[in-house]
C-alpha cells in the first residue's frame, strides 16, 4: 500500500513538469501581456525576444506579438510600438496596424504623415 502511494506521488510530480497553466492555441497570435495571463510564458517570451535581438524590458515583453506554435511554444512576430490589443477570443494585434488585424476588426487605422 505504501509503495503504491509513493508511485502515485512520483507520477504526479513527473507530470507536473510537462504542463503549464493553460497553453496558447496553436496558430493563434497573442500579445505578451495576455500570454502571461494565460500561463507561465514570461521565460519563453524573453527567450523568443532575445533570439530576435529585441530588448527584454517589461514594455517590450508586454507589447509584442507572438505566434503560438505546437505544444504551447511561441515565436516572436513583431513589437507593437503603439500598443498591443487583445485578450478576447480573436487574434491579438498591434494598434493601427492593418497587416496585424486592425482593419479586419473594423477599427479605425490612424496613419501619421
Q: Per the structure, how many domains does the chain have?
A: 1
pLDDT bucket at 14, cuts 50 / 70 / 90: very low
Q: Nearest to residue 72, comparing CAs of 53, 45, 90, 101?
A: 45
Task: Spell out the residues 6+ positions from residue 90 whose beta carbon is closer than 8 angstroms to its own.
Answer: 101, 105
pLDDT bucket at 98, cuts 50 / 70 / 90: low
Residue that wins the pLDDT comparison between 2 and 25: 25
Query: Does residue 108 lie within any of the structural domains?
Result: no
Q: Please tell me the pTM assigned to this model.
A: 0.68
**95 burial via Cβ count (<10 Å: 0-12, 13-18, 19+):** middle
Query: Does residue 73 lie within any of the structural domains?
Result: yes
The SS3 call for residue 8 is helix
Query: Does residue 81 lie within any of the structural domains?
Result: yes
Query: Does residue 8 lie within any of the structural domains?
Result: no
Mean pLDDT over 26-36 rounds to: 96
Instruction: Check pLDDT > 90 for residue 113.
Output: no
Query: Does residue 16 lie within any of the structural domains?
Result: no
**44 burial via Cβ count (<10 Å: 0-12, 13-18, 19+):** buried
Domain that holds residue 39: 21-100
Query: Does residue 29 lie within any of the structural domains?
Result: yes
Amino acid at each position: 500500500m505504501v509503495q503504491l502511494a509513493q508511485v502515485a506521488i512520483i507520477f504526479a510530480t513527473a507530470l507536473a513538469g510537462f504542463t503549464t497553466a493553460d497553453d496558447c492555441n496553436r496558430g493563434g497570435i497573442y500579445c505578451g501581456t495576455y500570454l502571461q495571463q494565460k500561463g507561465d510564458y514570461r521565460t519563453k517570451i524573453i527567450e523568443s525576444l532575445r533570439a530576435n535581438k529585441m530588448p527584454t524590458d517589461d514594455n517590450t515583453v508586454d507589447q509584442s506579438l507572438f505566434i503560438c506554435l505546437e505544444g504551447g511554444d511561441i515565436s516572436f512576430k513583431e513589437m507593437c510600438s503603439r500598443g498591443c490589443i487583445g485578450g478576447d477570443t480573436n487574434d491579438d494585434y498591434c494598434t493601427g496596424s492593418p497587416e496585424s488585424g486592425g482593419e479586419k476588426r473594423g477599427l479605425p487605422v490612424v496613419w501619421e504623415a
